Amino acid sequence: MGIGEFLEENGEKVKLGVYFLVVIGVGGMLFSTLGEAWRRAELAKPLILSLDPLVGVSLEQFAAGMFGLYLGLLALMIADPKKRIQGVLLGFGTAAALVGLLSVGLFIPNIDFGANIVLIVGGIVAGTILGGGQQLLEVRTADALEFRRAASRLYFVLTGIIVVGMIEYHVTFPQLLAVSDAGVSVQNVGGSLSFTQSGMFVNGLMSVVFVLTLREFVQYDSSETFFVLGPRASGKSLLLVGKYLAALDDATDRKADTPMNPSGDLMELVSSLDAVGQDAGWEIRSTASADVKDLRFNFTKGRVFPKNVEIESLDYAGEYLDELPNALMSADDEIDNSTLRLLAQRVRDAETLILVIDMERYHRNESLGIEPYFDILDEASGTDVLLVATKCDILAEQFRDERALEAHQYFDEFQEYVNKKLVANDQTVRTLVQNTAGNEIHPVYYQTKVDDAGDRVPMRDPNGNVMTIGFDELLKKVG
């Protein structure tokens, strides 16, 4: 197993290990340094100490209240199904940070937690309110249970502490405020700034690593956009329907509470394929040239670090594929056809292009119709590419006959079989794979049977549902 394949299969476990090391190891050392920064602070420390003579809030009371506020935000993050693991990791990181501060005699030795319990509890309540905790008391709506405000506020609080702490550690300011029991006075500014370069690289590196990790912790949505390209009748519509059905099965298995929000056009296709009898055919026809359908849905990717992914594409007539390269080379106002203009814009905006290879054409020794892909990729340089072979049910039968293996049970071996067969027997596909840096072709198909008329129709389970293969694995590659 290569490194890439290992990371693809175990990426979340590797992330979990790396994040644990960062929040425990880096967090402990970083907050020990921040403790030293507090001791030498010339700006933040006088401002906080001035609260006592001004409003009667001592440093101990301020620290207890802020700690409670932090705990309230952290509790909401742990209560969030999508951020629970990150919240638990931050809990370990908090313990490591407290140990780091304790090593320099700060925080825990200086706070009477019993005497300040009211402030701590009040801070927890304030943190839950600021983080959107009222959702727990509301009747559940179509929205998912997510505490985005809590996660973002935790990120800004911790990032602010780190940035201010690093400035205080490495920059010495002239004294601006003098705080005493008598009050606060502004000092005449004298002297100049001085910089401490000792440890700057290590401290800066720790800060950047910790902040970037925090940023990963608070992200809910994948920002990647996808667009599907394929010739006429190559299975683009069924590809999108299959991905939706796979995502729906996954959401049911994990009892996800995140709405999938499928578009009406997508549900029309799903209903056409699904709401039919046991002996029905595909019931989905090629898209008319004047018809463009908006197909989109949301799904949650990942088990350890789940993220919301939006799959969005257009169902369009495959005839436009031949015209798309010229459209991509033209300005929008030079494209007369509104559908073609929309397709060109979507291709330009996509971060990943999903290129369909029709295996039914391959089986019939017909042209695959993928020649326009090469010009499109030239115009969309820098865009990621995912190659998908649709209608692989016939190849699955050949795989079973040749290897005595079922494709759905030995999918990795089947994928290797499909790749070798296509690359060896079709020079256009071989060139496409080479032009996309050796991109692996991902096979998908609906399980089929041959009816009395000799046509291939979808097999259905006892409930009349179609059975898909390869779409679960395809979903893991997106997002």
pLDDT digits (tens, 9 = 90+) for 286-331: 565 567 788 888 888 777 788 888 887 777 777 788 888 888 888 8
Q: Cα separation of 97 and 316, whole Å?
A: 55
Q: What number of residues does the chain have?
A: 479
Prediction pTM value: 0.76
Q: Cα separation of 253 and 472, whole Å?
A: 12
Better-predicted residue by pLDDT, 443 or 217? 443
| pLDDT (0 to 100) of residue 287 | 60
Better-predicted residue by pLDDT, 256 or 89? 89
Averaged pLDDT, 78-95: 90
Amino acid identity of residue 7, one-letter, is L
Tokens of 264: 């009406």
DSSP state of 454: S
Site of tokens 């389970």: 461
Max avg pLDDT among 17-26, 180-189, 299-308: 17-26
* pLDDT for residue 265 is more than 60: yes
Q: Cα separation of 446 and 448, whole Å?
A: 6
DSSP state of 62: H
* pLDDT for residue 386 is more than 60: yes
Q: What is the three-class DSSP state of 409?
A: coil
pLDDT digits (tens, 9 = 90+) for 120-155: 999 999 999 999 888 777 655 556 678 889 999 999
Q: With b meaning 16 or more CB within 10 Å and e meaning fewer, what string describes 58-73?
A: eeebbbbbbbbbbbbb
**Domain range annotation of the chain:** 3-185+194-218, 226-477
SS3 content of the chain, % helix, strand, coil (to 5): 55, 15, 30
Better-predicted residue by pLDDT, 123 or 252? 123
Tokens of 32: 């020990």
- Tell me what percent of the residues of the chain surpass a pLDDT of 70: 91
| pLDDT (0 to 100) of residue 279 | 61
406 HSE (CA, 13 A, CB side): 4
Averaged pLDDT, 167-177: 82
CATH 1.10.10 correct for 226-477: no
Better-predicted residue by pLDDT, 270 or 161? 161
Q: What is the three-class DSSP state of 327?
A: helix
**DSSP code per residue over 189-245:** P-S--EE--TTHHHHHHHHHHHHHHHHHHH--B----EEEE--TTSSHHHHHHHHHH
Better-predicted residue by pLDDT, 58 or 175? 58
Averaged pLDDT, 321-346: 86
Amino acid identity of residue 440, one-letter, is E
